[in-house]
Structure 1
Amino acid sequence: MQPIVSVTNLSKTYASGFHALKNINLSIRRGEIFALLGPNGAGKTTLISIICGIVKATEGAVLVDGRDIATEYRAARSLIGLVPQELTTDSFETVWATVSFSRGLFGKPANPAYIEKVLKDLSLWDKRNNKIITLSGGMKRRVLIAKALSHEPRVLFLDEPTAGVDVELRRDMWQLVRSLSESGVTIILTTHYIDEAEEMADRIGVINGGEIMLVEEKAELMRKLGKKQLTLQLESPLQEIPATLADYRLALSGDGNELIYTYDTERERNSIIALLKALEDAGIRFKDLQTTQSSLEDIFVSLLRGDQ
C-alpha cells in the first residue's frame, strides 16, 4: 500500500548555515499513529513544518497521498490538519466562528452539522459562543484541534499536543486520537512525554541532530532494545558471585541479599532456566523473585546516549 506521507532525501539548511535536517527518509502508513521522539532542537518541528508547507526544504521531496507539497501545494495541504504548539487566532472571535473560518480557508462548503460534531467530541459545544480570550489554556488547546479538524483532513499532525495541559485533557485527547485513527485518519505526533508515545503509537521514530536514528514498530522496538531484570532475594547473603556463574550477567546487591540478572528480552529468555539450574548446583537458594522491564523512556534515553 502506498504510504500516506513519503519523505525522500529531505534536508533543511538555514541562511546561518545551521543544518536543521539532514537527508531525512521517512514513510508514514495510512491510518497509523506515528510518534516522533527527540530532544529539543532535534528537528521535529522543522520536519512537520516542511511537510505542512510552512517551511521550504533545501533539498528533497515530500508527497502526501501521492501529491507533491511543492508542485501540488493546494491538493496536498488540503489533506493535512496541523495542531501547532500555540494558538494563533483572533482572541475576540467566538469558538464557532474561528473553527468555521478555518474550514472555509480550505474551500470547504459550510457544514454546521460537522462543526457541531467536532466541537462536541472536544467538549467545546457549551463554549461555542464564547470568545477565545475567555477560555482557559486547556480549552484553547481543544480549539486548536477543532481548527485542525475543521476541513476533514486525512493526516493530522499534533506538535506537542499535551504540553502544559492537565491530566483530564491529556486523557480526553488520547481518546480522541484513538477514535480519529479508528476512523482512518493518520496521526503523526511529536511529544516530550514518552508515556504518550508508549500509550498510543503504533510505530516510533527517533530523531536527533536533524537525522532519523531509527523507525520501528513500538512492540518490536521494546522487544529488540528493551532489557529485563530478574531480581532474586536470597535465603542467605553472598560475599561474592561464584566463578561458576561467570557466564551470566549477574550483579550482587551491596548487602549481598539480592542477585540481579540483566538479560535481553529478545535472545535470553530461555537462559533463566539455565541460570536457576546453575544457582541450584552452586547451592544458592532464593526465597522470592521479581522481574522488571525497560520502559520506552529507558530505551529512548539509551538511544540518545549511544548505549545501543
Structure 2
Amino acid sequence: MRVQIVEVGPRDGLQNESAIVPAAAKIALIHKLMAAGLKRIEVSSFVNPKWIPQLADADEVLQGINRSQGVMLSALVPNIRGLERARQSGLTEIALFMSASETHNQKNINKPIADTYPILREVAQEALAIGMKVRGYISTVFGCPYEGNVPLDNSRRVTEALLKMGVYEISLGDTIGVATPKQVHEVFGELVKDVTNERLAAHFHDTRGTGLANVAAALEEGIRIFDSSIGGLGGCPYAPGAAGNISTEDLVYMLHGMDYETGVDLEKLIEAGAYIGQQLGKELPSKVLRASLASKPAG
C-alpha cells in the first residue's frame, strides 16, 4: 500500500520561524527534499509579505529551484494578485486556505467565512482556466483556539463549497494539535461518506503529542495522503502555543515500519532535516532526526 506525503516544511514550517532563512538556504533545502524522493512539496506562500515576512522571497525561491520531472511544487495563494505571482513563477498547482471556525478565519484571513468564499471561488476559476491544479486547506477542523470545539457540520460545509469551486483535494487540518484518534475516526469516518477518501488529506500538528497516533487513526479510515514538515518545523501564528507539524522523518519511519510505501529515502530525509536545523541553529522537534544525530559519532 502506498501513502503520499505532502511536504509543507518550506512554507508552513519556515513561516513560523522568528529568524528569516535566506532564499539560498530555502532553495538548498527544497533540493534536498526532492533528492530524498518527495514528490509533492509546498515551497512558499504568495500572501502579502507584510503579513508573513519570512516568505517575502517566494518569487526568488521559485526562480532558484531546479524543476524535476515528477515533482509537484505548490504554494499558498490568497487572492488574484497572489495567483498572478504564482503563474509568473511557473507553478502548476496552488493551494487555497480557510478555516472551519468563524473566529480563526477572521483572524487568519481578516474576513468572515461567507466573505471568503467569493474570493477563493474567483482564484479557483482563474487558476483552473489556465490549467493549474487547485488544492484546498481547511484549518481548525478538530478545534479552534478561540471557539474550542468546532462542529463537524462546519467542516462539511466548507469542504462542499471548496469541491464546488473545483478543488481536487482537501487537506483537513488540526491547526492547534488538539485532535485525538477517537476524534480523527469520527471526523474522517463521516467526511469520507461525502467525499471519496482519495480526495481527502490529513494535516496534523503535534502540540499534545498525538500527531502520529492521529495518522494511524486516519489510515484506518482509508486516508492515504498526509501533510508533514521536515524536522517537525511549524506552528500557527494565529494559534497561540501551537507546536510544529508532525515531522516528515517521524512519519516516514512509522509508515515504513507499518509496511506502507512512500518512495522516500529516510536517510536522505534525515540529511535534509539536519541541514535546516543547522541553518536555524537549533535542535528540531523530530524524534527520528534527534535519534539519528545522537547516534552519529562526533566529528
Which structure is higher in helix share? 2
Q: Which has the larger radius of gyration?
A: 1
TM-score, length of structure 2 as denominator length: 0.40
